[in-house]
């Protein structure tokens, strides 16, 4: 039923999101050039990996030693605006149509995080990952990792179609208010280093990213 609801909703709003996808793609192409998309391997249902698809919001600018600059230096004004309106996440609707994601569920995180999960935290993998979720409407990237995982696990235990519809409506309001786009003092979200890390701190998730231009983002 959840899969059916996802497909029906995505197809019903196709006349809205498809033109927006094309327009945003043109803006990204003009601002960043090719490639238009950021692809990264994420952990899906039961930890099965898939490639998430998002619009690029960062450049691949490097220092004199060839190292990527910090995220806040590579995140452009255009990129910040795309993120503030969540337009960078429009291509994820294609992941939904492919069955790799749902409209609502725990946000898919990089595959490398899975080995760092505690047994309780791994329970977030029991649900299909979503474009939005319970954590996103309760703080988004401003949540520390412990709270974020707690919200994800609560969703796994309480998921229902009615809850998904509620989350979708709250998400629209959250996006309009542009809340929780980044973690405090970070361009995006700090990297999850394991259940023993300081919940309010972490390392740059971009520090060990591959060098290709479409792999220069943090986890969100």
Calculate what percentage of the chain has a pLDDT beyond 70. 83
Least confident of 7-21, 36-50, 56-70: 56-70
Question: What's the confidence (pLDDT) of residue 210?
Answer: 32
Least confident of 36-45, 101-110, 189-198, 208-217: 208-217
On the question of pLDDT at 53 being above 70, the answer is yes
Average pLDDT estimate for 52-75 = 86
Average pLDDT estimate for 50-74 = 86
Question: What's the confidence (pLDDT) of residue 26?
Answer: 95
Average pLDDT estimate for 135-152 = 88
Average pLDDT estimate for 182-194 = 65
Q: How far is CA 8 from the centre of its chain?
A: 22
Name the token pair of 128: 């299909």
Least confident of 132-146, 174-188, 195-209: 195-209
Report how far residue 26's alpha carbon sits from residue 32's, in angstroms, rounded to the nearest whole number. Answer: 10
Q: Is 217 exposed, middle or buried (0-12, 13-18, 19+ CB in 10 A)?
A: buried
Question: What's the confidence (pLDDT) of residue 188?
Answer: 60
On the question of pLDDT at 46 being above 50, the answer is yes
CB of 173 within 8 A of CB of 179?
no
- Note if the bond before 108 is cis, omega within 30 degrees: no
CB of 82 within 8 A of CB of 57?
yes
**Of 140, 20, 170, which is closest to residue 87 (Cα–Cα)?**
20
DSSP state letters, 151-217: HHHHHHHH--HHHHHHHHHHHHHHHHHT-S-S-TTSSS-PBP--TTS-TT--B-TTTT--SSGGG--
Q: Which helix (H) or strand (E) holds 18?
A: helix 14-32
User: With bands split at pLDDT 50, 70 and 90, how would you rate the model's confidence at 197?
Assistant: low
Report how far residue 144's alpha carbon sits from residue 123's, in angstroms, rounded to the nearest whole number. Answer: 18
Q: How far is CA 219 from the centre of its chain?
A: 7
Question: What's the confidence (pLDDT) of residue 72?
Answer: 80
φ/ψ region of 166 (left if φ > 0, alpha if ψ in -120 to 50, else beta) reads alpha
**Of 67, 66, 76, 83, which is closest to residue 32 (Cα–Cα)?**
76
């Amino acid at each position: 039923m959840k899969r059916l609801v996802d497909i029906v909703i995505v197809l019903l709003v196709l006349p809205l999101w498809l033109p927006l996808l094309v327009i945003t793609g043109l803006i990204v192409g003009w601002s960043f050039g090719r490639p238009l998309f950021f692809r990264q391997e994420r952990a899906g249902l039961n930890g099965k990996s898939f490639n998430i698809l998002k619009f690029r919001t960062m450049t691949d600018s490097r220092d004199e030693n060839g190292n990527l600059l910090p995220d806040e230096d590579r995140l452009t004004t255009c990129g910040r605006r795309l993120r503030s309106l969540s337009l960078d996440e429009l291509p994820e609707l294609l992941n939904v149509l492919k069955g790799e994601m749902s409209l609502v569920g725990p946000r898919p995180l990089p595959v490398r995080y899975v080995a760092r999960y505690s047994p309780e935290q791994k329970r977030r993998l029991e649900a299909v990952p979503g474009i939005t979720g319970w954590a996103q409407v309760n703080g988004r990237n401003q949540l520390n990792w412990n709270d974020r995982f707690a919200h994800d696990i609560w969703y796994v235990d309480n998921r229902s179609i009615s809850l998904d519809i509620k989350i979708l409506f709250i998400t629209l309001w959250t996006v309009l208010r542009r809340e929780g786009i980044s973690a405090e003092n970070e361009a995006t979200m700090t990297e999850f280093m394991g259940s023993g890390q300081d919940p309010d701190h972490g390392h740059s998730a971009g520090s060990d990213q591959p060098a290709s231009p479409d792999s220069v983002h943090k986890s969100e």
